[in-house]
Amino acid sequence: RAKADGRNRHHFYSRALHGEIQRQQQLRHDLRAALDAGQFWLAYQPKVNPASGELLGAEALLRWNGPDGPVSPAMFIPVAEETGLIVPLGRWVLREACAQARRWSDDGHALPVSVNISAAQFGETGFLETVQEELRASGLSAHLLELEVTETILMRHVEHVQRNLAALRALGVQVSIDDFGTGYSSLSYLHEFPVTTLKIDRSFLAPGRSGPQATALITAIIGLGRALNLQVIAEGVEQPAQVRALLDLGCAAMQGYLFAPPLPPAAFEAWRRDWPAQHAALTAQA
Ligand code: C2E
Ligand code: MG
Ligand code: MG
Ligand code: MG
């Protein structure tokens, strides 16, 4: 009786597993087809210093126009990670972003571009070579490329990561820790990673979290950045009051809907031409 139960359970699990494998293969197939069909594109969101008006860079954010309309990266990035398709897809992002930054540079408006990197990509043997090849192919100067990695990546294979980061920094590539404060990076390790920037996660700026506690956390991250000689940028800035608070705390680099949402390349160019006027208006308000 127990034996039969065990066998049934086994059948059940293997059938469920088989279904799961099929589902993964289907999703991987759909994403691969979308990549081949040219359904992906990159949006660019500016990073600014609202005190000086300086444009600091642009983050490339992946977009998918699926057959039934746009699909959020929050939906398809995890699938791409699970299925391994993030490696070719991430390489496409790197290539496209480098090509865009090279065009800006050629047009006389050089601007650093930031590219999000998944753990599966960063962990690939050959990731360093991929970055080097895409820099070479695009002719982009390495200091105009920034990679955004997460705390999860850093903590996974510490020695491998340290070597990779050191090699990237030696090339001149900038590296920031994205969504900082939401992962579980060990502060005692942080100074051993040759990164350039901490990016404060937007959840710390969410309206529901404003108040003394959120301010204390943001203050702590800014202090940590200063102690470790790292740049600090805040993401998810939506309100003028947040700008004032961040400037008071000593964080002048910001990104968020208040300045611009992620924009298609042509709209980004238009925003860029308009930004000096927008900055003047923001400054007059403050
Ligand atoms: P992330 O890198 O932390 O990007 C910031 C997210 O916040 C973006 O969402 C952006 O559109 C959104 N955002 C920007 N300003 C504001 C604001 O003021 N308020 C609010 N509420 N949100 C704001 P998006 O584009 O949906 O991307 C979500 C995540 O997907 C990204 O988080 C990143 O982790 C991942 N992702 C996007 N593109 C890529 C990519 O090319 N490769 C990889 N590996 N991951 C990517
Ligand atoms: Mg990012
Ligand atoms: Mg982020
Ligand atoms: Mg995020």
Q: Is the pLDDT of residue 10 over 70?
A: no
Protein residue with least CA distance to atom 37, ligand 1: 61
Instruction: Please identify, by atom number, the ligand 1 atom nearest to the C-alpha of residue 150.
Output: 34
Whether the per-residue pLDDT at 4 is higher than 60: the answer is no
Compute the distance from residue 116 Cα to the ligand 4 centre, in Å: 10
Q: Is the pLDDT confidence value at 130 over 80? A: yes
What interface predicted TM-score (ipTM) does this complex get?
0.98
Which pLDDT value is given to residue 91? 97
pLDDT tens column, 252-264 = 999 999 999 999 9
Segment 48-107, tens digit of pLDDT: 999 999 999 999 999 999 888 898 999 899 999 988 999 999 999 999 999 999 999 999
Least confident interval from 177-186, 193-202, 234-243: 177-186
Q: Please report the pLDDT score of residue 3 as a whole number.
A: 54
81 pocket-lining for ligand 1 (C-beta < 6 Å): no
Say which residues have a Cβ less than 8 Å from residue 204's Cβ, sequence separation at least 6: 181, 214, 217, 218, 221, 234
What is the 201 CA–ligand 4 centroid distance (Å)? 6
CA distance 226 to 2: 63
Please state, as a whole number, how many other Cβ atoms lie within 10 Å of the Cβ of residue 83.
Answer: 21
58 by Cβ neighbours in 10 Å (0-12 / 13-18 / 19+) ranks as buried
Q: What confidence category does residue 8 fall into, taking pLDDT thresholds of 50, 70 and 90?
A: low
pTM for the model stands at 0.92
- The residue to mutate among 40, 41, 61, 153, having the most atoms of ligand 1 within 8 angstroms of its beta carbon, is 61
pLDDT at 12: 66
In the chain, DSSP assigns E strands to 40-49, 54-66, 69-71, 113-116, 145-150, 174-180, 197-200, 231-234, 253-254
Q: Model confidence over 216-233: pLDDT tens digits?
A: 889 999 999 999 999 999
